[in-house]
Structure formats: structure tokens, C-alpha cells
Amino acid sequence: MRRIFAQARKELTQLLRDRLALGLALILPVVLLLLQSTAISLTVSDLPIVVQDLDKSLASQKLVDAFRNSLSFHVISWPTDKQPDLAFEANKARGALVIPDNFGRRIARGEQADVQMLVDGSDANTARIISGDAEQIIRAFNMATAGASHPEPVTAAIRLWYNPSRSSRKFYGPGIFVMGMSIFPPLLATLAMSKEGEQKTILQVFVSNISAHEFLLGKILAFMIVATGEAIIMLAILFTYFGLQFAGDPTPFLVSTILYMFCVTTFGNMIGSMIPSQVAAMQAVALTGFLLVYMFSGLLFPISNIPASIRWLSNIVWGRYYIEIVRDSLLAGGGWPAMWLKVIIIGGIGALFYLNAWRYLRRMQLKD
Amino acid sequence: MRKRFSALLNSRMGALILKEFRQILRDKRLAMSLIIPPTLQLLLFGFALNPTVSGLHLGVVDDSQSIESRELRAQMTESKSFEASGMYLSVGDLSKDLANGKLDAGLVIPYDYSRDLERGKPVTVQVLLNGMNSNTATIAQGYTEGVIATYNLGLAGEGLHANFQQVAAPDVNHRGLVNLVPAYLFNPGLEPTWFIVSGILGVLLILNGSLIAAAAIVKERETGTLEQLLMSPASTTQIIVAKLLPLFVLLCMMGLMALTVMRLVFGIPFRGNVLLVVAAAALCLLCGISIGTFIATFTKTARQAQLTLFFINPPLTSLSGAFTPVEAMPKWMQPIAQFNPIQHFGQISRGAMIKGSGIATLWPNFLALTAFTLVLVSLSIWRFRKQLS
């Protein structure tokens, strides 16, 4: 036990001397958390659209006003003799509302009047949002003009649970917290471990009487302490600036956070003991940590959208389970009944990493 | 032409360039690692990142259990957006499964649903959506409203709704309804990968360019061969250009390979001039290489250089608009994104490939990209020379 603590203290002292690494552990995650959660969002609003009103009747003016008044769009001026898709090419507008010239007459006659919404489809998600918003405006317009004579038989009262303001920050914030935890602690751990191999200081460890378990646990403990520091700083921001709070029982979060810190720092140590080159080990961790967590954990987009042939990968990505737990405890609050299996899986993956790292370091135990 | 080429090869610079090329090509693994992994990354990103909202799991509490309510349920799950995932007896059970993630949405139909409809009284059904993911919630809300609207229209023709309208109000002042016909230009199938793949190429160019350039220069310094090069009669500018040109050529090959993948695997239509994209990619690469060189002049070891790049590349990526549209960023942040070469590359590649825009509309982006490249290249050469003299 004493040896484990001594090993951990040595690691932390070494880390404190390395300002660059310290900044990487404590400052960069915060910068990224603030930057990414503000920048990453898919819910566009206030998009520029072009209106081509070929009718110029009272009814068409009313419809244009409805679009003008909405928060989703703002109308830009565009000469009527120019094709609206030229505005898309020039990135001036994302949509164009075209009102045909018999619009007002058809409305007055009680017929159905078609209007066209041209949408720039180059960004598919934004295009869907644009046509959804336009349809919403038209529905409201129909209700207002048809008035009391045309009440809708069925209306849907839509309730958004867990994130009623649809704040994308609240959704992406926890995910970016997980990404920070998945990259930086294992990165520092792998640097420290591969450095021992690169500079051959590992030989000194081999000849000392410290066992592989003690050596490994000391390293893991040190970087778990660093990870705790990182987690506390990021959580403080999530709870204050992001306005998040525990939605239910916080214990699944606490338990899984400890297990996850163990899991990722052990992963770093495992890679570090396998690759005795700091730069190569760092790249391996950055690639797996970043790519896997970024793409296969549902951080940005739902996992179910990944084609089935590579979707299975997400089942072995440790970050995926942790993201689900963090989102659940900060937004939904399903608690232990919903999360117990995921907590166990994180622990299991961590144990596998530990066994593997220990296997690589076992050589030192063969001597006795 | 040939004469000039051989003159170049015989010059000092030519000799240096040749040496670098030989050095890189001798190490086949390095040359491969410059070209293959970025292309694989592009493939993975393109397949894995997809914001489409479909197949949302819908749970239903049907207290009415009537023909009408079954019709509504069928209508909800008819499209690809919702997928029927179970009936529930109470809202409590439903919300439990909504909380643990088994369901994405819930539909609650009240017990007096069909009775009220027949009496001509407007009824309200409740739709619960898991709003955690703001994008999914926005689009699912649109879907739901669309389904209900079509359902209402469908009622109009049939007996029930005729009944409904008569009771509700006699049709004295009937006015026509507006019908929206959406048309998606450039990407009628709304293929979501096009947007992401065309943007990510810029991220990969900057990322790999900076990492590889930094590694190459720091390595020369670490092994001490930089001093030997300096003792040769070549000038510092010649040394740095000769050092970076082969990397640039290899990375350009990576870029071309990525473009081929975009065309063949993802089926992105090359509607405009491909040369525009290639030129923008080359500028983007130069930016990346300059960033790497610049960092390398401040650092002594490869480890330090890579750690420092961590402070530059991720923020640059998150402000690039490669994964999510710049328009979705807060208003105050959008101008900041204009200072990012990746953002301009994205505009050019999306414009030229998907929309078929030409230089007439893309020149501001080219201007910005060229300006960044010039500034970054001269900054890095200045640092390099200052450090060596």
C-alpha cells in the first residue's frame, strides 16, 4: 500500500513540473467544453430566405408577413427577375418561398392554393428543419385565416421532457464532458508510462522490489487524481454556466465516474506499456480516445444512424456507456434501474484493460 | 520544359528536395501512413456521423381503444420517423420507459377520443417527446405536427369529419387552404453524409498537415541533422522549402485520394469545377503545414510539439462548421468562425461540389483562404529563419 502511494506521489510530482501537460489536463478540457458546447448545435434558426411573390394580392402579402414574423426565418431582398437558386449558390439564402400568381384568387374561392418552398438541400438536416418550420407557419396561417369555421378536429399537445427548452448546450455539454474525460487523463497516463519504456527507466523499476500490481496501481491512482481534478472543474461549469443539475439519484453517476476514471487511466497505462515511444503511444491514445468516442458513442448523432456493418463497434466503446449514464443522471434521471448494466460494463472493460496492462508488466515479477 | 526541370534537379534546392523525397520513400511505412489513415478516417466519419432522425421508438397509451384511435396510431407509425414499440396501460409505465431510454416518444390518446370526435368536439392527444437531444426533438416535433395535420385532412373526406364539420359550424364562410410543396435543390434525396464529408476533408487536411510537418522538423532537430543542413551552402529558405515540399506533395496525394473516395463511395456529385476544390485543398494543406512548422520552432521534442498542437487543432475543429452548420452557432460566434481556414474550405468544397457554384460566388472564400495561407506561411518561415540565424 505504502509503495502504491509513493509511486503515485512520484508521478504527481513529475506532472506538476510539466506545465504543458498540466495545462492539457486542467485548462484545455475547460476551454473545449465551453467552446464546443457553444459551437456544436444543429438547431438552426433565423435563416435567410428569399420570397418571390408573383401574386401580390392581400392574401399573399399576409402569408409573406407570417414568414417575416417568424423566428425561424428572416426575409432578404432578392430581385424577382433572378432565379432564387442563384441565391443558394451565393450562400445568400437557404430557402425560397414562391407564391404563384393566382394564389389570392384560389384562396378567396375556397380552393386549395399551392405555394412552393425551395430548400437548399446541401445540408440535409438544416433542409429538414427549414421545411418543417415552413409547414408549421403555413399550418398556423391556415388556422388563422380559416378561423372558427375550421377548427382542427385533433390537436397534439406536444410535451418535451428532460430538456424542455431544447437547449443544445444541455445535450452536448455532458457529451463533451465525457470526451474530455476520455482523452486527457489516458493521454497523460500513456505519456508517463511510455516515457519509462522510452528512457529505459523501466529497468530501474524492474530491479526494484516493487511488484507489477503496485507499480501499475500507483500510476493509475496518480492519474485518477488528475482526472478527478479535471472532472470537478468541468462539472462545476456544467452545474453553474450550463444550468444542469442531477435529475435524480446521483449515485449511479458517482460510482460510474470513479469506474470510468479507472477504466480510461488504465487504458492509457496499457497502451503506454505496450508502446515504448511517447509520440506513438500518444497518437494511439488520441486516435482511439478521440475517434471512437467522437464517432461511436452517440456524442453528436444517434448511434442507431451508424450503418449496421460498423455499428457493433459502439458496443465496445467504453465512452458510449458513460455518456449514456451522464446524460441520464443530468437530464432524464432514470437512476439505478435504468443504468446498472452500463455501470457494470464500464467496470468490466476497465478490469480487462488492467489485466492486459498487468500482463505486459508481469515480466518484472518473473525474477522471483 | 525538360531542360528547366533538369536544371531544377541539378540546383541546390533540387538536390535537397530529391534527398527528402528519397528519405520519405525509403520509409514505405511513413509514406503509407501519410496517405492511408486520413482516407480511412474520412470513410469512418462519413459513415458514422449522421444526424438523420428516423425510427424513433413510439410507445402508446390508448385509453380510447376505438377505430378512430387505432387509425391515428397507424398513421403515426406509417412513416419511417416513428416505429411502434409497445402499448402501455398507464402514462406512468410509459414515462418509466421514456426515462430509461427504451422509448423516444409517447402518444397518449384520451378515453373520450372517439366520442368527442363523433360529437364534433375538438380533442387533444398528448405527445411526449424525449427532448434531451435538441435536434431530434425539433425534427420529431415537426413530424408529429405533420402527421396530425394529414390525419385531420384525411378525416375531411370521410364520413366522420363531414359529420364533425356540420356539428362544429355550418360552412358559410369557407376559405381555401394553403398547401406547402417543398422541393429540395442540389440534394433531393437529402443525403446527410454529403454535408459532413465535404467539410471533414478540411479538418483532415489541417490536422494531418500540422502533425506531420511538426514531426518532420522536430525530428531533424532532435537527431541534430538540422545543424548539418545549415552548414551546407543552401539558404534557410531553401532548406525549409525543400523540407516541406515533399510532404506537401504526398499530402496532396492524400487529398486527391480523399476526393476520389468522396465521389465513388459517398456519391457526392461534382457539379462545379473540381479544380476549385483541389486548389482550396492545397491552400488548406499549406495552412496546416505552416501551423505545424510554426509550432515546431517553439518546441524541442516531438512530444512537446504534439501536446502543443492539442491546444490548436481541437478548437480549430470545433469552430469549423465541418460537423454542424455555422448558422446554428450563436450569432456572436459566427464572425469568429470566419477566421478559420477550415470554414472557408468547407464553403468552397460544398459550393463547388454540391451546388455547382463557380469562382464568381466563391471568390470571397478563396480570398480569405489565400490570405490565411500567406500569413501563416510567412509567419512560419520568419520564425524558422529567426531561430536558425
Write the burial class of residue A309 (CB in 10 Å: 0-12 exposed, 13-18 middle, 19+ buried).
exposed
* pLDDT, position B281: 94
For residue B93, give how far its alpha carbon lies from the nearest alpha carbon of chain A (Å). Answer: 13
Kindly state whether residues B66 and B205 are assigned to the same domain. no
Residue type for A251, please?
T
* pLDDT, position B43: 87
Whether residue B162 lies inside any domain: the answer is yes
List, edge to edge, every strand of the sheet that includes A154-161. A154-161, B123-130, B105-109, B56-62, B82-88
Tracing cell 425551395 back to the chain, one arrives at A118
By the 8 A CB rule, do B189 and A126 touch? no
Select the more confidently predicted residue: A167 or B89: B89
Q: H or E element: which one contains B111?
A: none
Are B179 and A38 in contact (CB < 8 Å)? no
- Listed as own residue / partner, the contacts of A343-349 with beta carbons closer than 8 Å and 24 or more positions apart are A343/A252, A343/A255, A343/A256, A343/A259, A345/A318, A345/A321, A346/A256, A346/A259, A346/A260, A346/A263, A346/A318, A346/A321, A346/A322, A347/A259, A347/A262, A347/A263, A349/A263, A349/A316, A349/A318
Kindly state whether residues B41 and B109 are assigned to the same domain. no
Whether residue B323 lies inside any domain: the answer is yes
Average pLDDT over residues A4-11: 86
- What's the pLDDT tens digit per position in B243-297? 888 888 888 988 999 999 999 998 888 888 889 999 999 999 999 999 999 998 8
Kindly state whether residues B307 and B344 are assigned to the same domain. yes
Nearest residue in chain A measured CA to CA from B322: A40
Whether residue B3 lies inside any domain: the answer is no
Cα–Cα distance measured from residue A293 to residue A306, given in angstroms and rounded to the nearest whole number: 14
- The DSSP code for B79 is S
Q: Does A129 touch chain B (CB under 8 A)?
A: yes
State the residue range of the domain holding B146: 56-168
User: What is the DSSP annotation of A174-225?
Assistant: HHHHHHHHHHHHHHHHHHHHHHHHHTTTHHHHHHSS--HHHHHHHHHHHHHH
Any residues with CB less than 8 A from the CB of B269 and at least 6 apart, and which?
Answer: B353, B354
Are A88 and B185 in contact (CB < 8 Å)? yes
Select the more confidently predicted residue: B149 or A149: B149
By the 8 A CB rule, do B245 and B344 touch? no
CA neighbor of A220 nearest in space, from A354, A355, A89: A354
Whether residue B272 lies inside any domain: the answer is yes
Interface test with A, best of B43, B116, B185 (most A CBs within 10 A): B185
Average pLDDT, chain B: 83
By the 8 A CB rule, do B321 and B336 touch? no
Q: Does A101 touch chain B (CB under 8 A)?
A: no
For residue B107, give how far its alpha carbon lies from the nearest alpha carbon of chain A (Å). Answer: 9
pLDDT above 70: residue B162: no
Nearest residue in chain A measured CA to CA from B128: A159
Kindly state whether residues B21 and B135 are assigned to the same domain. no
Between CA A269 and CA A278, with CA A272 as vertex, the angle to 5 degrees is 135
Average pLDDT, chain A: 86
Cα–Cα distance measured from residue B127 to residue B148, given in angstroms and rounded to the nearest whole number: 11
Nearest residue in chain A measured CA to CA from B363: A90
- Residue B159 sits in a domain whose CATH number is 3.40.1710.10
A116 vs B95, B181, B351: nearest CB: B181
pLDDT above 70: residue B118: yes
- B contacts of A113 (beta carbons < 8 Å): 176-179
Q: Does B30 touch chain A (CB under 8 A)?
A: no
* Cβ under 8 Å to A: B residues 44-63: 44-45, 47-55
- Listed as own residue / partner, the contacts of A334-341 with beta carbons closer than 8 Å and 24 or more positions apart are A334/A248, A334/B99, A334/B100, A334/B101, A335/A248, A335/A249, A335/A252, A336/A249, A336/A251, A336/A252, A337/B100, A338/B99, A338/B100, A338/B101, A339/A252, A339/A256, A339/B100, A340/A252
**Lowest model confidence (mean pLDDT) among B146-160, B221-235, B237-251:** B146-160
CA neighbor of B301 nearest in space, from B229, B210, B214, B209: B214
Last residue of a domain, one of B136, B168, B200: B168
**Lowest model confidence (mean pLDDT) among A178-192, A257-271, A327-341, B159-173:** B159-173
- Set of cell numbers at residue B190: 437529402
Interface test with B, best of A123, A176, A187, A339 (most B CBs within 10 A): A123
Whether residue B181 lies inside any domain: the answer is no
Kindly state whether residues B199 and B277 are assigned to the same domain. yes
Are B48 and A310 in contact (CB < 8 Å)? yes
A107 vs B176, B190, B361: nearest CB: B176
By the 8 A CB rule, do A290 and A273 touch? no
Nearest residue in chain B measured CA to CA from A330: B132
* Cβ under 8 Å to A: B residues 188-207: 188, 190-192, 194-195
Output phi, psi for B332, to 5 deg. -70, -20
B100 vs A24, A110, A334: nearest CB: A334
- What's the pLDDT tens digit per position in A59-118? 889 899 999 998 889 898 888 788 887 888 888 888 999 999 888 888 888 778 889 898
- B contacts of A134 (beta carbons < 8 Å): 180, 182
A121 vs B143, B144, B187: nearest CB: B187
Kindly state whether residues B284 and B230 are assigned to the same domain. yes
Q: H or E element: which one contains B80?
A: none
Regarding an ipTM greater than 0.85, the answer is: no
- Set of cell numbers at residue A29: 478540457
Whether residue B367 lies inside any domain: the answer is yes
Domains contained in chain B, number:
2
- Set of cell numbers at residue B29: 511505412
Nearest residue in chain A measured CA to CA from B190: A124
Whether residue B1 lies inside any domain: the answer is no
- B contacts of A107 (beta carbons < 8 Å): 175-176, 178
Q: Does B129 touch chain A (CB under 8 A)?
A: yes
Kindly state whether residues B319 and B279 are assigned to the same domain. yes
Tracing cell 477504466 back to the chain, one arrives at A263
Percent of chain B with pLDDT over 90: 16
What are the boundaries of each domain within chain A? 2-40+166-365, 47-149
Are B324 and A41 in contact (CB < 8 Å)? yes
Average pLDDT over residues B325-342: 89
Number of residues that make up chain A: 368
Q: Does A321 touch chain B (CB under 8 A)?
A: no
* pLDDT, position B1: 56
For residue B342, what pLDDT band results from cuts at 50, 70 and 90?
very high
User: Does domain A47-149 bear CATH number 3.40.1710.10?
Assistant: yes
User: What is the DSSP annotation of A320-331?
Assistant: HHHHHHHHIIII
Output phi, psi for A291, to 5 deg. -65, -50
- 3-state SS class at A241: coil
Kindly state whether residues B113 and B66 are assigned to the same domain. yes
For residue B190, give how far its alpha carbon lies from the nearest alpha carbon of chain A (Å). Answer: 5
Q: Does B43 touch chain A (CB under 8 A)?
A: no
- A contacts of B310 (beta carbons < 8 Å): 24, 28, 286
* Cβ under 8 Å to B: A residues 201-240: none
Kindly state whether residues B260 and B116 are assigned to the same domain. no
Q: Does B159 touch chain A (CB under 8 A)?
A: no
